[in-house]
Amino acid sequence: MRTYDLSPFWRSTVGFDRLFNLVNDTVDDSDNYPLYDIERTGDDQYQISLALAGFTPEEITITAEQSALTVEGRKANRSDHHYLHQGISMRPFRRLFNLAEYVQVKDATFDNGLLKIALVREVPEAMKPRRIAIDVGPAENQKIEQKQAA
């Protein structure tokens, strides 16, 4: 059994549907093609590397949406080859990565059969924690001035 019964959580939570669906979808990830790595390269920087031997950049599509990154690949017809053994898999694929809030795709490079996608978390200034200055009220100012005069 590789799925979890999340029904007790559904009864007592509101607005966590996406999180529960994400848990169920992640557990049932049976297709492991193409192979990939997810690496943290800095405090708010990440890199996804996909092994795409045999593909060209023109055969790969990267789509970034608000909370998801999709990498798709489709090999052009290659009917002129007559393989005796074909061990290098070049089948069509679609790999979906769920992104956290404020994670954006910075760039993508393709070199030596590796597709590298750089991601960065950019939290807007309005959402960052900020220090609030404490003003002393007018009555407090008068008390402080009187104490200094005495």
The tens digit of pLDDT for each residue in 27-71 reads 555 678 899 999 999 999 999 999 998 899 999 999 999 889 999
pLDDT of residue 148: 61
Helix (H, G, I), strand (E, B) or coil at 74: coil
Residue 108 and residue 117 in contact, taking contact as beta carbons nearer than 8 Å: yes
**Confidence bin at 74 (pLDDT 50/70/90):** very high
CA distance 47 to 148: 60
Check residues 79 and 123 and name the one with the higher pLDDT. Answer: 123
**Predicted confidence (pLDDT) per residue in 98-146, tens digit:** 898 889 999 999 999 999 999 999 888 888 888 888 988 776 555 555 5
> Does residue 11 have a pLDDT over 70?
no
Q: What is the pLDDT of residue 14?
A: 73
CB contact set of 40 (below 8 Å; sequence gap of 6+)? 46
Burial of 114 (0-12, 13-18, 19+ CB in 10 A): middle
Q: What would you report as the CA-atom Rg of the chain, rounded to the nearest whole angstrom?
A: 26
**What does the angle CA 18 – CA 22 – CA 24 come to, to the nearest 5 degrees?**
120
Fold exhibited by the domain 34-126? Immunoglobulin-like (2.60.40)
Average pLDDT over residues 19-34: 67
Helix, strand, coil shares of the chain as percentages rounded to 5?
A: 25, 30, 45
Task: Name which residue leads in pLDDT, 53 or 72.
Answer: 72
CB of 70 within 8 A of CB of 94? yes
Q: Where are the domains of the chain?
A: 1-30, 34-126
What's the CA dihedral at 50, 120, 96, 6 to 10 degrees? 130
Tell me, what's the pLDDT at 33? 87
